[in-house]
A and B are shown apart, each in its own frame.
Chain A
Amino acid sequence: MSEARTINGVVIDDTFAEAFPMKATRLIITAHNITWAYHAAASATGFATSVIACGCEAGIERELSADETPDGRPGLAILIFSMSGKELAKQVERRVGQCVLTCPTTAVFAGIAEGEAIALGKNLRFFGDGWQMSKVIAGVRYWRVPVMDGEFVAQETTAVTKSVGGGNLLMLATDLDAALRAAEAAVQAMKRLPNVVMPFPGGVVRSGSKVGSKYPSLGASTNDAFCPGLYGLAAKSELTPEVRCVLEIVIDGLTEADVGAAMRVGMQACIEIGSAGGMLRVSAGNYGGKLGPFHFHLHKLLDAGGGSA
């Protein structure tokens, strides 16, 4: 905080977000109309806020128009991130099997072509009990599984790519309304960018964590240094008395540049609200730079528009 920068009354801390390598894939879910595509995508990306207990982090990347999808129907692109390719494969199979196969009218396709292949419809096809059909079209194998509304079509595999998870911004504001306003504006700006998702509810997390706990069985616990309710109580606080609410946005992206770009537009949205709107400071979470290889320095992002590993 020694060389914090102030823009439009908002202090940008001289700190960095620390992010980690992850494995990711993109799936394209199409349906008879966008409503049913949303039902499937919301279900498939549900309970996927943090790898700590969900197995993956996932979100809806964007809507796809009919001319952008392989089957000419409206659809959605979703991104799923895990800590390993093996865990990602498990999550993809479970989520597509329980949330997309089951959803009326849907079909699912790989959204990334290059990379190690993991099963998409490859094992789900056995739901067809022998009635499933394979179709190779333009060198790509699809499985057609008979279901009660017709047939479920799934591409055999999807590709896994290296990615970056855990980019983050902390928004410190005068009150809850101001913090929510800033967080919502930042998430909205980030959602306009490709290749990123903000996996927490509404893209925002209130329970920022630190490594470790007084309880030996817990690996993470509340980030007391950023809890306004503990100001004056906790031995160390990162806050000042004016800060009454802190919210965080976590960003997962396919590349370091994607995460950096999302953090930059998020910060710019906060700056636009300014101190007049109750936005006081922007900070970021890190572990001293010793755990994650990707460091997104807030000042560098604002200056140059990219993170540095």
Chain B
Amino acid sequence: MTRVRLSLKQAPSLRVDLRGVKPAAFAGLTLAQIEHLPVTHGTQALPLAEFFSVTCEDTPELGRELVFEGDLSRFDRIGWQLAEGRIVVTGSVGDYAGACMTGGDVQVQGSAGLLAACEMAGGTLTIAGDVGDHAASTLPGSMDGMRGGTLVVRGRAGDRFADRMRRGTALVFGDVGDFLASRLVAGTIAIGGRAGAHVGYGMRRGSVVFAGAAPAIAPTFVPALIDAAVAWQLLARDLARIAGNHSGPFEGLAARRTARHLGDLAADGRGELFVAV
């Protein structure tokens, strides 16, 4: 039994915390045991079967996989601290999707709420729709944001995308809100659409690539006199690879010329903005 399918019966009245519902947690459990796994609904602990009808399949060629079917917008922490295996969600998800994951693969075919991929350290999180504010950033009160792995958002992202991020790669195909890459420590971010105000506010190091519209650049950035062609080739080729076959705004990225800006000089000042022209 390697693929567990959880089909939503009906939307819950309160928010449900799905931390702990991971492919590895089902190893060695019978169908009945899985159905009785407790999840938090508001302040109550209820069995998983209260919300989902559970089926199991033998798919040894796929490895461990967990499939959620339905609109899970009220279900938070899907893929929380995931270390291995694969989670597929056919609809949208709530907050903290893929947060703190260290490995494995999460695919959301809808949109995600707030704080998606926050403090993500490894693995891959792909969201076909949009993500809310603070994606790839920190848990509230924490000092470091995303610190590894790959986040791909095929839609739009909210404000404070990648706040305090320090490692890993995050792609957004569409537009992003204000304060993109604020207080960025390091890592790579690529944006296919338009960016809001205050790009790279207080960024220390790291790279932000703009494959779509050129952003408004703060006066605390300086234009670079060299184009860093080798680093650009390494970076752009990898971004196109991550973007995959339908790479949209990232298609042919390596062949484009760039304008580079260095900053934020109000912070460490060793970050860079690559604007593809």
Q: B241 contacts which chain A residues (CB < 8 A)?
A: 138
The minimal Cβ–Cβ distance linking B267 to chain A, given in whole angstroms, is 15
Stretch in B65-73, B96-104, B133-141, B227-235 touching the partner: B227-235
Q: Assess the B167–A151 pair: CB atoms within 8 A.
A: no
B32 at interface (Cβ–Cβ under 8 A)? no
Q: B234 contacts which chain A residues (CB < 8 A)?
A: 70-71, 135, 137, 142, 153
Q: Closest B-chain residue to A69, C-beta based?
A: B233
A73 at interface (Cβ–Cβ under 8 A)? yes
- Name the interface residues of B97-129: CB closer than 8 Å to any CB of A: none
Q: Assess the A72–B233 pair: CB atoms within 8 A.
A: yes
A71: which of B207, B227, B233 is its contact (CB, 8 Å)? B233
Q: Assess the A136–B231 pair: CB atoms within 8 A.
A: no
Interface size band for B: 10 to 19
A134 at interface (Cβ–Cβ under 8 A)? yes
A133 at interface (Cβ–Cβ under 8 A)? yes
- Name the interface residues of A22-68: CB closer than 8 Å to any CB of B: 30
Q: A288 contacts which chain B residues (CB < 8 A)?
A: none
Q: Mark A163-187 against chain B: 1 for CB-CB distance below 8 A, else 0.
A: 0000000000000000000000000
Q: A73 contacts which chain B residues (CB < 8 A)?
A: 230, 233
B interface residue numbers (CB < 8 A to A): 167, 186, 188, 205, 207, 226-231, 233-235, 237-238, 241, 254, 270
Docked pose: A70 CA to B226 CA in angstroms: 20
Given contacts A71-B233, A134-B186, A138-B238, contact A150 B228 (CB under 8 A): yes
Q: Assess the B254–A72 pair: CB atoms within 8 A.
A: yes
Q: B235 contacts which chain A residues (CB < 8 A)?
A: 135, 137
Q: B227 contacts which chain A residues (CB < 8 A)?
A: 150
Q: Mark A124-139 against chain B: 1 for CB-CB distance below 8 A, else 0.
A: 0000000101111110
Given contacts A137-B235, A138-B238, A138-B241, contact A71 B167 (CB under 8 A): no
The minimal Cβ–Cβ distance linking B12 to chain A, given in whole angstroms, is 39
Q: A138 contacts which chain B residues (CB < 8 A)?
A: 238, 241
B231: which of A30, A72, A131, A142 is its contact (CB, 8 Å)? A142
The minimal Cβ–Cβ distance linking A128 to chain B, given in whole angstroms, is 11
